[in-house]
Amino acid sequence: MVLDGNAVRSVDRAAALLLALGDAQGEAGVTELARRLGLHKSTASRLLATLQRRGLVEQDEESGKYRLGLVVIRLAEKAERTLDLRGIATPELERLARLTHETTGLGILEGDTLLTVAQADGPNLIAVGDWTGRVTPLHCVAAGKVLLSSLAERDVLRIVRRGLGSYTERTIVELEPLLEELARIRRRGYATAIGEYEIGLNAVAAPVHDARGAVIAAVDVWGPAFRLTPRRVPELAAQAREAATAISVRLGGGARGPLSSEVHATA
């Protein structure tokens, strides 16, 4: 089917209306939308009626204002599910591994644990093994702490009540120290784990955000303590955050400061 100029213009205007409604943070009236887009009110009204018939917008019966419809929400959910998070992240993980000469990874929530879904090894001769597909506790690894710091407090308390396993003398196992650590992570935008899961293994991690601003994953850089020293943490944190931001942008998100208060599990 070949669209003529008028049809293309109508499609473009309809798309503009949907985007404007998305930016309206709730509802908007025909007059407001027409003025914002430079359309005649009758044109905007006709296009909104067409979008309403398709379920793309809904009209409030009392106010007469419009909002995005359930079809848009369903389409957004389908698009999000089809995004290949691992495929999107891998080039950035590989770039980060080359830059830092350390192992990098991507972790997501799997229940109340961290699941490593992708890994890239740096050029160093001493590797740290393949953790892809492994699950680890949230409270004692850097990527896990990023995700934990983004959970609602009630979920953190639930996890703590089940008991926090102690893996080394550095593992945080009490509620108050853990809450303090999570607050630090939210303030600075990255997490560290210095010998908390395995002695001699250190890591830094930063959050990946989706288009809604929720934390859906964490990028980490990790390696043996003699290479990944506390002195390198600020540099590695900045590099991990840069990689995480690049992945977030591909997902429709972007650079953020403090971590969001909600995490969205992708598994």
CATH 3.30.450.40 residue ranges in the chain? 83-250
Question: Tokens 């027409």 — which residue?
Answer: 34
Residue 131 and residue 148: Cα distance in Å, rounded?
A: 19
Q: Which residues of the chain have pLDDT under 50?
A: 1-3, 260-267
Residue 124's pLDDT is: 72
Nearest to 30 by CA among 51, 12, 9: 51
Fold of 83-250: Beta-Lactamase (3.30.450)
Longest C-alpha distance within the chain, in Å?
A: 71
The 3-class secondary structure across the chain, one letter per residue, is: CCCCHHHHHHHHHHHHHHHHHHHCCCCECHHHHHHHHCCCHHHHHHHHHHHHHCCCEEECCCCCCEEECHHHHHHHHHHHHHCCHHHHHHHHHHHHHHHHCCEEEEEEEECCEEEEEEEECCCCCCCCCCCCCCEEECCCCHHHHHHHHCCCHHHHHHHHHCCCCCCCCCCCCCHHHHHHHHHHHHHHCCEEEECCCCCCEEEEEEEEECCCCCEEEEEEEEEECCCCCHHHHHHHHHHHHHHHHHHHHHCCCCCCCCCCCCECCCC
CATH class of the domain defined by 5-79: mainly alpha
CATH 1.10.10.10 residue ranges in the chain? 5-79
pLDDT, tens digit, for every residue of 163-186?
Answer: 999 999 999 999 999 999 999 999
Residue 5's pLDDT is: 67
Residue 221 and residue 103: Cα distance in Å, rounded?
A: 6
Residue 233's pLDDT is: 97
Residue 83's pLDDT is: 64
Please say whether the beta carbons of 145 and 151 come within 8 A: no
Residue 212's pLDDT is: 85
